[in-house]
């Protein structure tokens, strides 16, 4: 017969709900430590070692679980953000309003500091429309977009390029170039017989666009933008 040394009411609670002890990590640590003291230092407790290893694995699994959940929430938030920007981009009924919204409400929705539309053209004469939309529209010679996106390395073209920079290109960002620390370059294909273009998003946060980030959502945004632009170009 056992000779209890604890309060009867506490003992009754433990007997009635033993799972409460098993679920309490600190309490289990204390019980295992007490058992180790009882068996002495000259005995190897394989059960205790196994439990420690299992506990370490459990901690790693919990950390992974939290990381996966955090990434899922971040992806969901990013998806909603891009969807809102696309809806806003489809609202304007004329081309100038469409372009002005890019560096306005669309950029704000996406959380970027600067957005520029870069169009390649063989024309050299000044265009009044370019002058009116100088804040968001840039006109460049053929071949500029590919060279800008790959940094002149001649690398295979990618639709989306993410990178960190010391400062932005003045020809793209104008007076704000010195504040740009990371950027996303989205190549644009406007269809057969048309020169390509590029949508550039600049951020003052150096960690907003890095090569380690996924590009699926920005690729989707670029696809919608291409199709919308074709409507204005037809």
Query: Are 113 and 176 part of one and the same domain?
Result: yes
pLDDT at 183 over 70: yes
Query: Are 81 and 106 part of one and the same domain?
Result: yes
- Average pLDDT of the chain? 80
Query: Are 120 and 190 part of one and the same domain?
Result: yes
Cα–Cα dist 57/221, whole Å: 40
What is the pLDDT at residue 58?
Answer: 75
Q: Is the pTM of this model over 0.85?
A: no
160's enclosing H/E stretch is: strand 160-164
Looking at per-residue confidence, does 98 or 131 come out higher? 98
CB-based burial, 192-231: b 16+ in 10 Å, e otherwise = eeebbbbbbbbbeeeebbeeeeebebbeebbebbbeebee
DSSP 103: I
Taking the alpha carbons at both ends of the chain, their separation in whole angstroms is 94
86's enclosing H/E stretch is: helix 46-89
Angle of helix 46-89 versus helix 25-39 axis, rounded to 10: 160
Number of domains in the chain: 2
pLDDT digits (tens, 9 = 90+) for 196-218: 999 999 999 999 999 888 888 89
Give every CB contact of residue 208 below 8 A, 6+ residues apart in sequence.
Answer: 111, 112, 182
Residue 71 lies in a domain: no
pLDDT digits (tens, 9 = 90+) for 23-34: 777 776 676 666
Enclosing domain of residue 27:
8-60
**44-48, 58-62, 179-183 — which one is most confidently predicted on average?**
179-183
């Amino acid at each position: 017969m056992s000779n209890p040394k604890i309060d009867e009411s506490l003992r009754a609670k433990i007997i009635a709900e033993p799972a409460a002890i098993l679920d309490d990590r600190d309490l289990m640590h204390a019980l295992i430590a007490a058992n180790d003291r009882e068996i002495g230092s000259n005995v190897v407790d394989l059960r205790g070692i196994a439990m420690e290893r299992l506990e370490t694995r459990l901690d790693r699994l919990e950390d992974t679980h939290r990381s996966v959940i955090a990434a899922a929430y971040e992806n969901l938030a990013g998806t909603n953000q891009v969807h809102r920007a696309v809806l806003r981009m489809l609202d304007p009924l004329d081309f100038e309003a469409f372009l002005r919204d890019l560096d306005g409400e669309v950029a704000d929705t996406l959380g970027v500091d600067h957005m520029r539309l870069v169009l390649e053209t063989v024309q050299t004469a000044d265009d009044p429309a370019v002058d009116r939309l100088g804040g968001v529209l840039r006109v460049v010679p053929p071949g500029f977009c590919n060279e800008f996106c790959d940094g002149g390395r001649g690398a295979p073209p990618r639709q989306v390029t993410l990178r960190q920079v010391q400062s932005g290109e003045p020809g793209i960002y104008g007076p704000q170039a010195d504040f740009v620390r990371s950027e996303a370059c989205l190549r644009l294909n406007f269809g057969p017989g048309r020169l390509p273009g590029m949508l550039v998003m600049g951020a003052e946060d150096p960690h907003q666009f890095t090569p380690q980030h996924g590009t699926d959502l920005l690729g989707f945004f670029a696809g919608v933008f291409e199709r919308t632009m074709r409507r204005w170009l037809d």
